[in-house]
Amino acid sequence: MGDGIDCRWTPLARHLMKDYVSWGRYPKAIPAAVHRVHWTDELLPNTTCSLLPYGNGRSYGDSCLNDGGVLLDMRDLNRMLSFDRSTGVLRCEAGVLLADILVLAVPMGWFLPVTPGTRFVTVGGAIANDVHGKNHHRTGTFGQHVLGMALRRSDRGIVLCSATENTELFHATIGGLGLTGVILWAEIRLRPIANHAVDSETIRFPNLDAFFDLSSESDRDYEYTVAWVDCLARGNALGRGLFMRGSHAAPQERLPAPSGRTRSFPVDMPFPLVNAWSLRAFNNLYYRKQLARVHRSITHYKSFFFPLDNILHWNRLYGRRGFLQYQCVVSPESAKESVRALLEAIATARSGSFLSVLKVFGNRFSPGLLSFPRPGVTLALDFPNQGRRTLDLLDQLDRIVASAGGAVYPAKDARMSGEHFLQYFPRWKEFQRHIDPRFSSSFWRRITTRI
């Protein structure tokens, strides 16, 4: 026992690895073994297979998978190490969930500087994907609030890195997809809040032009902005939707309670519940969910930031075949035309999702070499996996994005071509030098096979 991990998987091991999937559950990949990391002083496992850290499995595609390799399950490395209540600087181990940070920090008057759409991601995962949120136009990405971190590398042992120390490795690790070594702990700067409430407004808008007007008007005055769009609307209504904007609330007399109980989607649907019919019905109803054009409310931060977190395992909605998430950004110069072209292609295909999201990114450049957010407009939505038909549609979207000087988000991707990746992320060559020699992922092998 303990002499290292055999790379050949056995039927038994295969059964036990079924928990290690990505959120979209496409593609399937089976690790040779899983090694749970419990302590920061542990050495990397002794194996000839490649290694990849695995956080809470919220990446959608294959960037958190390592087919035939070893996954390092980081979720037991979940200790808070220090928190300065006066400056908001938190040091914690990499497997800590953002949800855990909120439980600790919100009662003390601090909040995450950047919050993605789910709080069930690890700090390591948030850094490795350089995640962004509804406040990108104000505060940039998660990685821009990381003050420093410790990496364990197979070739150099523990390396401390920050904006002043091992700077290049620091920048490669932000958005580095877990390939530059294992993040052991990180130090992040939280932001102060008066209370746990968000003062928010939801505004119905009739078309894409109205979205752009609302966005430029709101980004000045609101910390958080994002829009839901009806991805099936066409013609004059193309790009219609609901615009959500908000800021952390000022001190209040009465604070809202967290809404609703958490439910769990119980089983895999035998067939996807998302189809052209249900999609049209939902989108029509959702667009009209409020009677007034503008609806203002003071909500609990959980309902504002994490509406989907109340439904655990919502990905089961898509059935056993899983789904593909697509998030792209297109450059600001041609944003209107490109978003219009993307939405037209999606509506024509009569595919798409209940939740399609549109947001304008700000001019906040992340230092991450493979960081996805950049100035422009981002569109995110998921598609039930219908095989070739879905892949063809996404290839079509990729061509629009590529010609619009945009990019596709690796954390959500399961199928983009190597050529497109190289075009979207021109600094990949610089990045490649920092990859740990023993690390790899299904995503990285897929992207680089033809380089």
Binding residues for other proteins, per CB under 8 A? 1-2, 12-13, 16, 35-36, 38-41, 76, 79-83, 93, 104
CB of 91 to other proteins, least distance (A): 9
- Strand runs (DSSP E) across 277-321, as ranges? 294-300, 311-312
- Determine the Cα–Cα distance for residues 358 and 211; give it in Å rounded to an integer: 9
CA angle 333, 338, 339 (to 5 degrees): 110
CB of 75 to other proteins, least distance (A): 10
Residue whose entry in the numeric block shows the structure tokens 């013609």: 235
CB of 134 to other proteins, least distance (A): 27
CB of 2 to other proteins, least distance (A): 5
In the bound state with other proteins, the residue whose beta carbon lies nearer, of 5 and 414, is 5
- Determine the Cα–Cα distance for residues 308 and 260; give it in Å rounded to an integer: 12
Check residue 134 and report its DSSP letter: T
What SS3 state is found at 400? helix
* Tokens representing residue 153 in the block: 């590398």
Chain centroid to Cα 5, Å, comes to: 31
In the bound state with other proteins, the residue whose beta carbon lies nearer, of 182 and 397, is 182
Cα torsion 356, 359, 361, 366: sign? negative
CB of 277 to other proteins, least distance (A): 40
CB of 79 to other proteins, least distance (A): 4
CA angle 262, 270, 233 (to 5 degrees): 75
> Residue 244 corresponds to which amino acid?
M
CB of 90 to other proteins, least distance (A): 9
In the bound state with other proteins, the residue whose beta carbon lies nearer, of 4 and 192, is 4
In the bound state with other proteins, the residue whose beta carbon lies nearer, of 104 and 269, is 104
Of 333, 327, 346, 349, nearest to 416 by C-alpha is: 327
CB of 248 to other proteins, least distance (A): 23
- Determine the Cα–Cα distance for residues 328 and 334; give it in Å rounded to an integer: 14
Question: Torsion angle of alpha carbons 147, 423, 49, 320, nearest 10°?
Answer: 100
In the bound state with other proteins, the residue whose beta carbon lies nearer, of 89 and 237, is 89
In the bound state with other proteins, the residue whose beta carbon lies nearer, of 37 and 339, is 37
In the bound state with other proteins, the residue whose beta carbon lies nearer, of 75 and 245, is 75
In the bound state with other proteins, the residue whose beta carbon lies nearer, of 42 and 168, is 42
